[in-house]
Structure 1
Amino acid sequence: METWNLEGELILNCNCTVFCPCVVSLGKHPPTEGHCQAWAGVRIDRGSFGDTDISGLNVGLMLDIPGQMARGNWTAAAYIDERASDDAFDALVKIFSGQARGTTGLFSVLVGEFLGAERQPVEFTTEGKTRRLVVGKKIKGAVVPIEGADPDSEVKVVNTGYWMGPDITIATATQGRVRDRGRVWDFDGRSAEICQIRWGNA
């Protein structure tokens, strides 16, 4: 098994009407709508898979979960940055399908149907506090941290056991559009998360 690691930022927007209960219940509490539909974007600032450099690449995800997150039976699809080399593409598929174990290894257990990975232009940009993800014509999303008492500090849930990372910034989506594989989702104004990530299998 190749050793891999990556550091960067993840954003996620789901159909929950208030902040996702999965972060603190670790998937044991049902989503606010009874099921979870979400898109996510990952910006890899630094990363490697064996001898393959994956730094500077972006990945998009679509997740469709029928009930409580921890019960599995997820349907998932991955969108890999079209700038990725063939080796980097293969590495990212292994990481985001759970085959590479480590932080994302739970995907191999929880995802019942992996719809596969495809190359797409995946743009992850930051403008002030707003993070935007554009995956071709399939995902167009933007999330922004919610306002707190101190406007200069993000509202966070810290020291969690959440798989993505211990500290989650509570956000909301100003845009959350998915158009792919029969899904037509619009999650503007719904729950969103921002997380600084350090993942790997070593």
Structure 2
Amino acid sequence: MTKVRKELIKELEMYRAYNEQEEADRQVILDSLLSEELIFERAESTKHITVSAWVVNPEKTKALMAYHNIYDSWAWLGGHADGDENLLRVALKEVSEESGLKRTHPVSESIFSLEVLTVDGHIKKGSYISSHLHLNITYLIEADEQEELSTKEDENSAVDWFTLDEAVEASSEIWFRENIYRKLNEKLRELK
């Protein structure tokens, strides 16, 4: 087991769950990190580690969302670890790739939120991907809302800033809207 994985396990063991969902999902993620050697790879086809970023402006009044083509919805930014166990680095890379932002930084290097997410089967790059779980680690990332945005055409068709409440309402995915994005905003408001 690598040093980075050991540090992630330790952080998850000490992580203070915000609610019942986070506590249940924390245990699933921990169990998987301890038992699944390839959990950071997509080769683990039934479940694997992913990373998301709740990107906010410095005032923490707006969130950045991308219109994801697969989900046909406005959503947070993020992606697969693809073997990289440094999840904060993955989060920052995904934000840059999906939004064009170059000047981002973590509000904290600590995990902001945890989620086990179901992913329905879908077509990606011409191939069928079976339904599976994303064991998701979320980081709070800050960016300048005046910086120019761009899309990643193979993943999203728009990127834009929304007020915190508008970001929740922009999503057409009810479960995300009610259980993830609202939670992220509640946690964010507690930081202020």
- Do these two structures clear the TM 0.5 threshold for a shared fold by scoring above it? no
* Higher share of residues assigned strand: 1
* Higher share of residues assigned helix: 2
TM-score by length of structure 1 reads 0.28
TM-score by length of structure 2 reads 0.29
